[in-house]
């Protein structure tokens, strides 16, 4: 048999708003209007303010480790607006704060979470968001499961989007989720924020793929690379993927090329492994800068509005911190009462006495019955 090509593919890159704030009007058709652009810019700026204050909270010992969203905000806001609030599900990692807020999560929940209080993970009723996921890649399986359940139930006009970084695509859970989603053709959008670094490992060293997007080809999944600092491109890519999902077209993969302007977390010092020239180059691509340049070119933004937004962002974040730090202290009973549907008797005793009995005193707790084991016996 002669040689023949059995599979051929290409990866397209989408950019609509460039680093100078110049818009490709043809590609921008049916995407965002100026009112929506202003709204998304405001959400990004408020999220940036939250990042700065959270950093100070950690440094002053008022909060634990925190991962800044700085530089990646366009991914969150553009995708969030493209998804249907109250209907679709958002399954986040931990750099999608603005998307969570836009879909109904009270802002102080994120601060409470990073303060080490699990009540930050208690999502309010009716808010279709799963808790933040620190383990890398595990939540993508949950997203696929939610989407599969939605398909089984024949729920109309409902999709799921899950966010993760480039490093997560090197994890086995990623491939398991992608394969299952493709085989079962579930309405799920896999959104990769390729911020160039898997903590301290550059993308080029933790994968040999020229793009992250091409990994979806192995699962015969529609895939696209977008400029992740471009709110227009992000919105369009997710909007198209969502439409395909709810119309029965199955899952999609989006690689958003962006950059983590801050450290991996407040426990990290990126200066130890990143070239400062690289960071400075990406600062010029900041989504807030290019979006503001566009708005000013359209005459819908000026220095006065910027100053008003700065003041509003400070007030909002100030109230958020106040709410987080003023949360009622948890009761020790919570640990027991929310662990079991029906609390076992020994656990009731622990809850009421705040004491636990040792195995030596009460061996029946672990089923040690009968004759004691002799030394040296098997």
Taking the C-alpha atoms of residue 45 and residue 301, their distance in angstroms, rounded to an integer, is 14
- Please identify which of the residues 119, 271, 273, 349 carries the catalytic annotation: 273
* pLDDT value at 257 more than 70: yes
Give the pLDDT band (50/70/90) at residue 153.
very high
pTM (global) more than 0.85 = yes
108 is catalytic: no
pLDDT of residue 56: 97
* pLDDT value at 352 more than 80: yes
What are the pLDDT digits (tens) for 4-46? 999 999 999 999 999 999 999 999 999 999 999 999 999 999 9
* pLDDT value at 378 more than 90: no
* pLDDT value at 133 more than 70: yes
Over range 174-180, report the average pLDDT. 98
- Please identify which of the residues 103, 203, 260, 292 carries the catalytic annotation: 260
Taking the C-alpha atoms of residue 124 and residue 30, their distance in angstroms, rounded to an integer, is 33
- Please identify which of the residues 242, 264, 290, 292 carries the catalytic annotation: 264
pLDDT of residue 362: 57
pLDDT of residue 356: 74
Provide Rg for the chain, Cα atoms: 24
Over range 264-274, report the average pLDDT. 96
What are the pLDDT digits (tens) for 361-375? 555 555 555 555 555
273 is catalytic: yes
338 is catalytic: no
Taking the C-alpha atoms of residue 66 and residue 55, their distance in angstroms, rounded to an integer, is 7
CA distances to 46, 334, 336, 337, 348 from 342, rounded to whole Å, are: 43, 13, 10, 8, 10
pLDDT of residue 232: 98
163 touches 93 (CB < 8 A): yes
List domains and CATH numbers for the chain.
13-325 (3.40.50.970)
pLDDT of residue 363: 55
Q: Could you tell me what percent of the chain has a pLDDT over 70?
A: 94
**What's the 3-state SS for 98-140?**
HHHHHCCCCCHHHHHHHCCCHHHHCCCCCCCECCCCCCCCCHH
Give the pLDDT band (50/70/90) at residue 355.
confident
What are the pLDDT digits (tens) for 279-296? 999 999 999 999 999 999
| Strand extents, DSSP E, the chain | 13-14, 89-91, 160-165, 188-194, 197-198, 201-202, 223-227, 252-257
For 274, counting Cβ atoms within 10 Å of its Cβ (0-12 exposed, 13-18 middle, 19+ buried), the class is middle
* pLDDT value at 231 more than 90: yes
pLDDT of residue 374: 55
Over range 195-212, report the average pLDDT. 94
């Amino acid at each position: 048999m002669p040689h023949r090509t059995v599979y051929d593919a290409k990866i397209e890159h989408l950019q609509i708003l460039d680093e100078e704030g110049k818009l490709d009007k043809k590609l921008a058709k049916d995407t965002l209007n100026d009112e929506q652009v202003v709204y998304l810019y405001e959400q990004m700026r408020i999220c940036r303010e939250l990042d700065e204050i959270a950093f100070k909270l950690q440094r002053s010992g008022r909060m634990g480790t925190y991962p800044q969203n700085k530089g990646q905000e366009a991914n969150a806001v553009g995708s969030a607006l493209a998804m249907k609030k109250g209907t679709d599900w958002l399954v986040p990692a931990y750099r999608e704060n603005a998307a969570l807020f836009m879909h109904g999560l009270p802002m102080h929940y994120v601060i409470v979470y990073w303060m080490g209080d699990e009540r930050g993970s208690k999502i309010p009723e009716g808010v279709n968001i799963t808790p933040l996921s620190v383990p890398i890649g595990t939540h993508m399986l949950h997203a696929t499961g939610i989407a599969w359940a939605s398909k089984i139930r024949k729920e109309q006009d409902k999709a799921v989007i899950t966010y993760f970084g480039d490093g997560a695509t090197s994890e086995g859970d990623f491939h398991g989720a992608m394969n299952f989603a493709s085989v079962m053709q579930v309405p799920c959008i896999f959104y990769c924020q390729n911020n160039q670094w898997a903590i301290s490992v550059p993308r080029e060293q933790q994968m040999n793929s020229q793009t992250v997007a091409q990994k979806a080809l192995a699962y015969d999944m529609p895939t696209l690379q977008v400029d992740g600092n471009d709110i227009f491109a992000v919105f369009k890519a997710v909007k198209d993927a969502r439409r395909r999902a709810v119309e029965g077209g199955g899952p999609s993969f989006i690689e958003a090329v962006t950059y983590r302007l801050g450290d991996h977390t407040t426990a990290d010092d990126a200066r130890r492994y990143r070239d400062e020239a690289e960071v400075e180059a990406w600062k010029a691509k900041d989504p807030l800068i290019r979006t503001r340049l566009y708005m000013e070119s359209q005459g819908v933004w000026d220095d006065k509005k910027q100053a008003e937004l700065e003041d509003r962002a400070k007030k909002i974040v100030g109230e958020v911190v106040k709410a987080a730090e003023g949360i009622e202290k948890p009761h020790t009973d919570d640990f027991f009462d929310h662990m079991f549907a029906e609390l076992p008797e020994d656990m009731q005793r622990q809850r009421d006495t705040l004491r636990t009995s040792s195995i030596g005193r009460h061996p029946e707790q672990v089923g040690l019955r009968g004759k004691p084991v002799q030394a040296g016996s098997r």
